[in-house]
Structure 1
Amino acid sequence: MTLTIPEALMLLSRKNDTGEKQGQFVEYALAGGALVELVLRKRLVPQDEAAKKFNLVDTSPTGDSFLDGCLAVLESRGSGRTATRYVQCLAGKSKLMREQAKSLVRKGVLEEREKSFLIFNWTNYPERDSAPEALMVQHLEKAIAGDIALSTQDRAAIALADKTGLLRKNFDKALLSANKKRIKSIAKGAEGPTKAAMNAIDAVIASIAASTAAVAAAGASSG
């Protein structure tokens, strides 16, 4: 993929024509994708083979404004944290999705569209240039079908998009149905992502599960 993992997930999480959000817990997917990218760019390194905790070893700019922002957040939290802790502190930033969207606006991929209703105001991000997402979707379709070798970025994007409902929103149902077992194996790491990348993906899955449980518990208590 030529897009970063968070960029790919951001595009999948927006309806192309209106820019409205789709999918669930996308903030966690963006956070996990950022963590994988920072591992691949050697800003974060596992403390040991188990890769339960990560050391922040390089805070120099990555050249990507969104990743640099995430790197600054992790630096403020300190080195030696678990993947789950890093994912949660990034996903807890209320402006996380907006920051990635604005980065894509600056690149000419998305555009900002202000919306309002009564006293409420918000911003949608429809596509300005559809080519990057179209190429990314075509690439991931081949990856899902097993027609090309999977990169770590491909594995992370597929696993995170699956867990947040974004595969169902963007890919052909027949393709997903025919490759259901393969997608499941990718999400579980059977297709061979690095241990560090897999722990970042697992951290997202665990965080989503915890958030879902918290929402359910809150609903039950209020009922």
Structure 2
Amino acid sequence: MAGTGVTLGEEIMLLSLDDESGWAKSRQAAGWAVAGGILLELVMAERVSVTGAYLGVLDSTPTGEPLLDGRLAQLEAWMKGRSKRRVTDWLTKDHTKAVGAAVQRLSERGLVTEERHKVLGLFPVRRYPEADGSTERELRERLTATVLGKADPDERTAGLLALLHSAKLHRLAFPEQPRKEVAQRMAEITAGEWAGESVRLAIRDMQAAVIAVTAATMAAAVA
């Protein structure tokens, strides 16, 4: 994980949450990327395998990170003794819960504050405005150095950018930059050899899964 200990899924949520209002931007697409980020983190921790369209649990030993261990336990229960299941099926099942788990972990770390309100005095809603912006600033500086400054990424940064690119979340990371320029550099990073072969292949397969579920959701919305 990053030097701050923040996971890939949390990093995507930090980019999605509006600092002042606490509302999530591009919530559904961000959800796919958050769930994918947690899976990729588990791959790098050698707990989960992602090969082609399928995933499997390699090791259910806790990592020591509550967000990852919670999703790993859920994933193991979902597998129900099977050796593999489709990545897209897990993303479809887990993306909403993954968002909730990632936001809760950010709150536990003191990076966001949970605010509860009722709409029309009846319907409870929660918002998560920024409490400590240092981690997000470091994250945005790292992404800027890699994408705009063309610095070589480490494997976690390459994986994060691949997920953002596949979910079309360029604006979350670079709201003021031309999308075409940013997307081109993200595609270049995704195609590069910035990680070991097993992680690089997992990044590629995770990206394909996120593209598939995002496209299916968009198609259903316009049907």
Q: TM-score, length-normalised on structure 2?
A: 0.85
C-alpha distance in structure 1 between counterparts of 2:30 and 2:175, whole Å? 20
Pick closer, same or farther for the CA change 1:100–1:162 going to 2, 3 Å. same
Q: Does 1:111 align with 2:117?
A: no
Determine helix, strand or coil for the equivalent of 2:151.
coil
C-alpha distance in structure 2 between counterparts of 1:181 and 1:95, whole Å? 31
Shift of 1:37: 0.5
Pick closer, same or farther for the CA change 1:76–1:41 going to 2, 3 Å. same
Pairs aligned (count): 210
Shift of 1:139: 0.3
Q: Does 1:88 align with 2:95?
A: no
Counting only pairs closer than 5 Å after superposition, residues 3-18 of structure 1 correspond to structure 2 as 3-18=6-21
Alignment gaps of 5+ in structure 2: none
Determine helix, strand or coil for the equivalent of 1:174.
coil
Shift of 1:177: 5.0
Pick closer, same or farther for the CA change 1:190–1:162 going to 2, 3 Å. closer
Q: Does 1:126 align with 2:132?
A: no
Partner of 1:220: none
Alignment gaps of 5+ in structure 1: 218-223
Partner of 1:221: none
C-alpha distance in structure 2 between counterparts of 1:172 and 1:10, whole Å? 15
Pick closer, same or farther for the CA change 1:169–1:44 going to 2, 3 Å. closer
Q: Is the 8 A contact 1:84 1:207 kept in 2?
A: yes
Shift of 1:204: 0.9
Partner of 1:202: 208
Partner of 2:42: 38
Shift of 1:200: 1.1
Determine helix, strand or coil for the equivalent of 2:118.
strand
C-alpha distance in structure 2 between counterparts of 1:179 and 1:13, whole Å? 17
Residue-by-residue CA offset, 1:103-125 (whole Å, 9 max, x unaligned) = 11111111101122212211101
Determine helix, strand or coil for the equivalent of 1:68.
helix
Percent identity between matched residues is 30
C-alpha distance in structure 2 between counterparts of 1:19 and 1:165, whole Å? 21
* AA of the residue aligned to 1:185: E
Pick closer, same or farther for the CA change 1:190–1:66 going to 2, 3 Å. same
